[in-house]
Structure 1
Amino acid sequence: MNTTPPEHPDDASVARAANSRLVRDFGLLIKSATRLEQRIDSALRRECGISHTMLEVLIRLCRAPGEEVSQRRLADDLTLTSSGTTRLVDRMEEAGLVRRVPSPDDRRVALVEPTPEGRTAFLRAAAVHAEVVEKYFVSPLEPKAYTHLTTALGEIDRALRGGGG
């Protein structure tokens, strides 16, 4: 398949490319995910006083109680930059949601753990998150279509994690 564009494409060729099924379908996925994330973030800020990204941190920290999670691991798991993670954890620490503790194995490493207030905020936020996801991600689909969608998304995720660039 030749993917090299012509040197001077005509308007019809450009319009065909811009309106291709792949461009439209991927755009729909991105727009839907972005709009859903915005709905979740707005509801969390309004009802819980935290952002969706803060909830993602709390989900990660609460998923396996007692697990030691470093800031570096948190950044990798959430696909954030190291400096972005530091700023986020700073804000969450100021809000009383998390605390940093030195690693018992390496004092240069800061571990992040939820505070009791963070666990309480997480439960409240998880309920708000579930309401929004149910309303806008689950309910619009028939159960069979929802299962098909989540199965397909899992397959896409596995393919992307597999590398194949």
Structure 2
Amino acid sequence: MDATTGRIDEAAQAANSERVHDFGLLIKAATRLGQRIDTALRRECGLSHTMFEVLIRLCRQPDEEVSQRRLADDLTLTSSGITRLIDRMEEAGLVRRVPSPEDRRSVLVEPTEQGCAVFLQAAAVHSQVVERYFVTPVPRADYGRLTSSLGEINRALHDG
């Protein structure tokens, strides 16, 4: 066996490792679930999954002041990406920008009444898709462990 064949075999072994496989399952499942949610939200509510995530963030604590910068950080979007997204949402009547009372350079974003109504409709659609593709396939006894483990992974990534 020459050096090239040895490297190819070693690469194949690494590509077929248990960790690569398991992580691939997680990514595929998350990606496919996100696609299912996005398709259902667009079809039934005229809303992208990312717009829905903005509305979740804005509706979670109604009295909290949320800046565009904070939204960008929370949703891991660039400042130009969040600006374009909020522009589209504002044009659709889902959110409005208001000046920050504490910082003239900062702009706050809040849901409109229409945005809240669309969010409620979208939350029901989201819940149906999540129930069908995330909750139902997992045995009831394993679901709590799954969500607890996902929380631990998230904390490790956030803290690390």
The two structures have a TM-score, normalised by structure 1, of 0.93
2:70 equivalent to 1:73:
yes
Moved over 6 A (4+): none
The separation in 2 between residues aligned to 1:98 and 1:9, in whole angstroms, is 58
The separation in 2 between residues aligned to 1:91 and 1:66, in whole angstroms, is 23
State the 1:10 CA deviation: 2.6
The separation in 1 between residues aligned to 2:5 and 2:76, in whole angstroms, is 38
Where do 1:5-20 residues align within 5 Å?
A: 9-20=6-17
Q: 1:118 aligns with which of 115, 118, 123?
A: 115
2:80 aligns to what? 83
The separation in 2 between residues aligned to 1:87 and 1:8, in whole angstroms, is 50
State the 1:11 CA deviation: 2.2
The separation in 2 between residues aligned to 1:128 and 1:117, in whole angstroms, is 17
What value does the CA root-mean-square deviation take over the aligned residues? 1.3
Amino acid at match of 1:55: F
1:43 aligns to what? 40
2:96 equivalent to 1:103:
no
Amino acid at match of 2:12: A
2:61 aligns to what? 64
1:32 aligns to what? 29
2:82 equivalent to 1:94:
no
The separation in 2 between residues aligned to 1:158 and 1:104, in whole angstroms, is 33
Unaligned runs of 5+ in 2: none
Aligned residues: 158
Deviations 1:59-117 (A, max 9, x none): 00000012100000010111111110000000000000000000111122110000000
Amino acid at match of 2:109: V
Q: 1:151 aligns with which of 120, 145, 148?
A: 148
SS at match of 2:52: helix
The separation in 2 between residues aligned to 1:76 and 1:12, in whole angstroms, is 42
State the 1:7 CA deviation: 8.9
Give the direction of change, closer, same or farther, for the CA distance of 1:63–1:10 in structure 2 (3 Å limit): same
Give the direction of change, closer, same or farther, for the CA distance of 1:99–1:9 in structure 2 (3 Å limit): farther
SS at match of 1:10: helix
The two structures have a TM-score, normalised by structure 2, of 0.95
The separation in 2 between residues aligned to 1:39 and 1:141, in whole angstroms, is 17
The separation in 1 between residues aligned to 2:4 and 2:83, in whole angstroms, is 46
